[in-house]
Chain A
Amino acid sequence: MAREVANVWWAMFGFAVLVLLVVSGLWIHAMLRQPRETGAEQARRINRRWIIGGGIVLPSASIVALLAFGIPAGRSMLPLPIEGEQPLRVEVIGHQWWWEVRYPESGVVTANQFILPVGRPVDIEVTSADVIHSFWVPRLGGKLDMIPGRRNTLRLQAAEAGVFRGQCSEFCGTQHAHMVLHVEALKQDAFAGWIETRTDLSHQPAGGVAGQVFADRCGQCHRVAGVSDGNRAPDLSDLATRPTLGAGVIDNDAEGLRRWLREHQSLKHGIAMPSHDDLSDETLDQIADWLETLGPRTKQEQTRP
């Protein structure tokens, strides 16, 4: 889909460069040339030619061509009824400054990562829990604003498997720069597997002391299936399978997770998660160890390539 827009862009670009060169060239030529004396009648003819030809005919023709050529390019992004396989519905909810992603048909919930099947249209219903955000995955298509109280629908379709980058594109406050969405298109069966392993994540390890501390301190906001039920912050039930932490701030590995738990306020200044300075290093490590285990249960079931 983005390809159609890219084609429109290159056509427009070529035409614009041509117009710019011609107009500037004419202008500079007009300044440098030695004009002959022109009679009044001749001058009037030249005037008419320039103003009507250049000022009216040229832009009108360009506009008609542009509209005829460009408007169809946007149609595939509209959630119009289609025949055959119906689009996959996904809800994406913007928060300051992270993405909540829900698959209502299967009940799967995740955060800051958006997995979609290749070759099947996806209707993304976007809204916001606080301020206005905007959903945008440049390589897949246009953007759509996420507005509190409204539900906008954007249709995307990935032509081939791969990883794409999405980023909030409506200024949404302090950490607007750090609101990245990991987007991954999987082959249809891999996608089905990805959904299936997540339909029931409630058998997470309780985590002993770490799980207890988490449930007490973090569970008000974070959900971990079977452990806590908060809904103000990202659902962490499949945390271990996510590529980054803090919506793109830092890589999600053993070291990154430990840093994030200690330095999140400086890594991503302004976020709602309180400081953990009062927790001992040992407790934080235990929590990190436990968080690293959250996700689909067996290695084979994990679909991350």
Chain B
Amino acid sequence: MSPVYKNGAPTTDPDQLHDQFNEVWGNPCGWRALTIVNHTSIGLRFLVTGGVFFLIGGLLAMLIRTQLALPGYELMEPDVYNQVFTMHGTVMMFLFAVPMMEGLAVYLIPKMLGARDLVFPRLSALGYFCYLFGGVILLSSLFLDVAPKAGWFMYTPLSSSAHTPGVNSDFWLLGITFVEISAVSAGVELVVSILRTRTNGMALHKMPLYAWYILVMSMMIVVGFPPLILGSILLELERAADMPFFDVARGGDPILWQHLFWLFGHPEVYIIFLPGAGIVSTLIPVFCQRPLVGYRWVVLGVLTTGFISFGLWVHHMFTVGIPQLAQAFFSAASMLVAIPTGVQVFAWLATLWLGRPVYRVPMLWLVGFLIVFVAGGLTGVMLALVPFDWQVHDTHFVVAHMHYVLVGGMVFPLMAGLYYWLPHFSGRMPSERLGRWGFWLFFIGFNVTFLIMHWTGLIGMPRRVYTYDTGLGWDMPNLVSSIGSFIMATGVATILLDIVLHFRFGMAAPKNPWNADTLEWATSLPPSAYNFVSLPDVSDRHPLWNNPDLPDSIARGEHALTVIDHGRRETWGTDPLTGKVREIIHLPGNSWLPFIAAALLAALCLSLLNKAYVLALVATAATLLVLLRWSWENGAHPAAAPDARTQPGEPPLHSRTFDGPGLWGMGVTLLANGALYLSLLFGWFYLWTVSPQWQVPEHRLNGGLMLASALLLSVGSIWLHRLIRHLRAGSHRGLLPQLALLALLALVQSAMLLWLLLAAGLAPTETAHDAVIFVMLAYSIIHCTLAAVLTGLQAWRVGYGYVGDAAPYEPVVVEQLWYYNLGVLWISYAAIVLFPASWGGA
């Protein structure tokens, strides 16, 4: 039995409790709204911003369909058309699908888990502003007529400076990388929040299914986005600094870009689909009023999908000329993913079979989802068959397939979810009639547009052509598609109208209007910033079905953590497996820092776009300072938790343990970082073995110097390890001088690497070989210097008393970075010193 936390609240009057909580958690108005870090506000901002980007992406689609409606029709010049279709894909994928799904998760996850906020609230805010600024920068290129125009997967050499001079591709590479900061940071935050902040008793196997889906999605983002981030960095370095990673003549290979892109790009499809499926798995039980059949099967299916999706990327490259055996492997793997998806589809079906489904608007969207998505899945299995893929690859068949999968797997569930959670956002119910009109227009329009498009592709129309000749049999199907797209647009407008009107005319939502089972419906509608005045214990998967009175008892403060006179924002920190309470996590309050940091990053992005590198350097330094200032307000700092006392019987504050969420945050961030580094390593070995004109220059790296640096880092890591062992034993004697010395050691060790880099005589613009070594060394220099700075900062904080035996957890966080750097440096040493020596026989 887990302990039951209840403490005598001083008052049980819900209004009084609300006032007390609002004082600590409430959101400011006016300009200060930019300081809000609360997940409810940030989640809604994500959703609204994503909705706007969806409408823009949709307008671009309308332009495409208008141009293609008739043969030879030139509404837009070819280069404008190419910008429009590139931006349509880019906006929908990067500015709509992923942020929208993350935004919904940011909004819902803490509420479903019975927590008051996400675990790194300032990071949520930073992520949002990066997304907003990055999106605006990217879209501005359209209005300046310099939008990216090499297709949303930016194949090089078409996207290189030789074939696309001008800033078009730079907008994509820099803008998307900027937006991805947001995706990855939200991914990290969701993983840690799901694992560490579930309310007391919510063991992993009692977690709502949606949280499982989001956990897997977030892990996939953490591991799946870095390959693209690395690819974008390399391609931008090629464009801006002439480093030939993808240039065949200098030993690079354009196919490397395709590998990096699809290493991200395929998981991306499931990153978009899984949260959609999560919505389906959440809604079906509610509308059937019985638990989902086969919880364990579905969880297993979701996990399997996550794993398999990283082994499929090559099926986007069957026409590249990959060896046969590899094609057969990736073909079979691509089909295998049908199994875990099939398990989910039939679990939903069995639930419907056993339950008594209620036929409401969200349910309508779920039916639409099933038909469209299953159709898309079936054509997906066909495409996994190599000879068939050779035929229809890069035709409108693929365009149709991809829209069936993505619109079916993401937009339909999202619409179901929006209708379902609308009362949660607004406190009002949507209309049934307008909602049904919207659905049918969208559903019919969608199928008219894309069903016939399979045929268009089968009879030979390639994708991405700005026009086509008459007489090829393509006229009629294209016209039908264009008409369908306008019907679909009417559907979107109807839905939009419905949602806008419901804010004004919708009936007030009753408590738990759909009689749902999950905790997000235990908040007030719309919710307060703190979600729950008291945090309930959970003993099974359906807390609201078992205890329909929960919303009221929560509001009366009958559960845990109801004392707030200390002024801290608090939520439970629980065991990742059992969900038993381990500590109280105290969360930072509203802050300008996320906004300022994102603004500085935007300045960095803009100065890189304008090739103002001095300014870029200034912006980087300023960002770093802001982020350091951010980390300063932690632990025993007056703005965090100077007073560590808790109520009798309550566990300690996380900053007074070795178990804070920061530890997990750092771990997951390093996982993402490791995925980035592994992608670089992959690139190195890929180029060595596959690049058609790989060249190894004469000169050799000073291996001895690199070895010395790695050894020094090893000594430092052992030293830090012993230091932290002492700290864990309760002694912080000598912590300050030793941390300071360690910082110095890391600095010396980074300087050795820098010397190595400068003295090696590398010519990174002449061969891909030297360019990769340059990046690999620079990577370690940056990370080791960062470790030096953070360790020095810790020493400084010990001096202030913010860190020490009473508040010991920050050095443990920094320790992970040291081990990470250590691993990376040794691997790099093996890869760039030992491997070539043995391979080249020198």
| Residues on A facing B (Cβ under 8 Å) | 2, 4-5, 8-9, 12, 16, 19-20, 23-24, 26-28, 30-31, 33-35, 38, 43, 46-47, 50-51, 53-56, 58-60, 62-63, 66-67, 70-71, 73-74, 77-78, 96, 130-132, 134, 136, 138-139, 141-145, 147-150, 152, 165, 167-177, 248, 269-270
Interface residues of B in 545-603 (CB under 8 A from A): none
**Judging by beta carbons under 8 Å apart, are B297 and A55 in contact?**
yes
Interface residues of B in 255-311 (CB under 8 A from A): 255, 293-294, 297, 301
Q: Chain B residues with Cβ under 8 A from A130's Cβ?
A: 157, 163
**Count class of interface residues, chain B:** 35 or more
Interface residues of B in 341-382 (CB under 8 A from A): 341-350, 352-357, 359, 363, 367, 370-371, 374-375, 378-379, 381-382
Bound CA span A210–B341, Å: 67
Residue B391 contacts which of A2, A43, A66 (CB distance < 8 angstroms)? A2
For residue B78, CB closer than 8 A to chain A, the reply is yes
For residue B10, CB closer than 8 A to chain A, the reply is no
**Judging by beta carbons under 8 Å apart, are B466 and A173 in contact?**
no
**Judging by beta carbons under 8 Å apart, are A24 and B163 in contact?**
no
Bound CA span A286–B615, Å: 58
Bound CA span A53–B339, Å: 11
With contact pairs A20-B378, A67-B332, A147-B320 given, residues A55 and B462 touching in the complex (Cβ less than 8 Å):
no
Q: Chain B residues with Cβ under 8 A from A8's Cβ?
A: 385, 387-388
Residue B350 contacts which of A12, A50, A59, A165 (CB distance < 8 angstroms)? A50
Contact with A along B65-97 (1 / 0, CB 8 A): 000000000000111001000000000000000
**Judging by beta carbons under 8 Å apart, are B79 and A174 in contact?**
yes
Centre residue among B332, B458, B465 by max chain A CB count within 10 A: B465
Q: Chain B residues with Cβ under 8 A from A77's Cβ?
A: 387, 390
For residue B319, CB closer than 8 A to chain A, the reply is yes
In the assembled complex, 6 residue pairs joining A and B whose CB atoms fall closer than 8 Å, in A order, are A27-B349, A35-B356, A54-B346, A150-B692, A152-B320, A176-B82
Which residue of chain B has its CB nearest to the CB of A170?
B394
**Judging by beta carbons under 8 Å apart, are B356 and A173 in contact?**
no
**Judging by beta carbons under 8 Å apart, are B254 and A50 in contact?**
no
Q: Chain B residues with Cβ under 8 A from A70's Cβ?
A: 385-388
Bound CA span A30–B357, Å: 8
For residue B620, CB closer than 8 A to chain A, the reply is no
**Judging by beta carbons under 8 Å apart, are B163 and A43 in contact?**
no
With contact pairs A71-B387, A270-B79 given, residues A165 and B460 touching in the complex (Cβ less than 8 Å):
yes
**Judging by beta carbons under 8 Å apart, are B157 and A138 in contact?**
no
Bound CA span A220–B320, Å: 33
Shortest C-beta distance, B541 to chain A (Å), equals 16
With contact pairs A143-B393, A177-B467 given, residues A138 and B349 touching in the complex (Cβ less than 8 Å):
no
**Judging by beta carbons under 8 Å apart, are A30 and B157 in contact?**
no
Bound CA span A136–B693, Å: 26
**Judging by beta carbons under 8 Å apart, are A144 and B465 in contact?**
no
Residue B248 contacts which of A5, A96, A149, A152 (CB distance < 8 angstroms)? A149
Q: Chain A residues with Cβ under 8 A from B255's Cβ?
A: 147, 150
Given A55-B342, A96-B163, 17 more A-B residue pairs with CB atoms under 8 Å apart are A12-B382, A16-B379, A31-B363, A35-B355, A35-B356, A43-B293, A47-B350, A55-B345, A67-B332, A130-B157, A130-B163, A142-B389, A150-B692, A170-B394, A173-B164, A176-B82, A177-B467
Shortest C-beta distance, B397 to chain A (Å), equals 10
Bound CA span A141–B331, Å: 19
**Judging by beta carbons under 8 Å apart, are B342 and A16 in contact?**
no
**Judging by beta carbons under 8 Å apart, are A62 and B331 in contact?**
no
Shortest C-beta distance, A10 to chain B (Å), equals 11
Residue B382 contacts which of A16, A96, A148, A173 (CB distance < 8 angstroms)? A16
Residue A171 contacts which of B158, B370, B374, B393 (CB distance < 8 angstroms)? B158
Contact with A along B313-328 (1 / 0, CB 8 A): 0000001110010001
Which residue of chain A has its CB nearest to the CB of B336?
A63
**Judging by beta carbons under 8 Å apart, are A55 and B343 in contact?**
yes
Q: Chain A residues with Cβ under 8 A from B465's Cβ?
A: 176-177
Q: Chain B residues with Cβ under 8 A from A270's Cβ?
A: 78-79
Shortest C-beta distance, B177 to chain A (Å), equals 22
Bound CA span A51–B301, Å: 11
Residue A9 contacts which of B336, B353, B388, B395 (CB distance < 8 angstroms)? B388
For residue B637, CB closer than 8 A to chain A, the reply is no
Bound CA span A152–B321, Å: 6
Residue A50 contacts which of B346, B375, B472 (CB distance < 8 angstroms)? B346
Residue A269 contacts which of B77, B391, B395 (CB distance < 8 angstroms)? B77
For residue B756, CB closer than 8 A to chain A, the reply is no
Shortest C-beta distance, B501 to chain A (Å), equals 28
Q: Chain A residues with Cβ under 8 A from B363's Cβ?
A: 31
Q: Chain B residues with Cβ under 8 A from A58's Cβ?
A: 342
For residue B253, CB closer than 8 A to chain A, the reply is yes
Which residue of chain A has its CB nearest to the CB of B459?
A138
Q: Chain A residues with Cβ under 8 A from B458's Cβ?
A: 9
**Judging by beta carbons under 8 Å apart, are A145 and B319 in contact?**
yes
Can you list the 8 inter-chain pairs with the closest CB atoms, starting with the nearest? Answer: A142-B390, A149-B248, A74-B387, A55-B343, A54-B346, A177-B465, A152-B321, A50-B350
With contact pairs A16-B382, A134-B394, A143-B390 given, residues A149 and B371 touching in the complex (Cβ less than 8 Å):
no
**Judging by beta carbons under 8 Å apart, are B378 and A16 in contact?**
yes
**Judging by beta carbons under 8 Å apart, are B391 and A27 in contact?**
no
Which residue of chain A has its CB nearest to the CB of B292?
A47
Shortest C-beta distance, A171 to chain B (Å), equals 4
Bound CA span A144–B387, Å: 11
Which residue of chain A has its CB nearest to the CB of B353?
A30
With contact pairs A16-B382, A26-B349, A73-B387 given, residues A59 and B150 touching in the complex (Cβ less than 8 Å):
no
Shortest C-beta distance, A46 to chain B (Å), equals 6
For residue B468, CB closer than 8 A to chain A, the reply is yes
For residue B18, CB closer than 8 A to chain A, the reply is no
**Judging by beta carbons under 8 Å apart, are B155 and A177 in contact?**
no
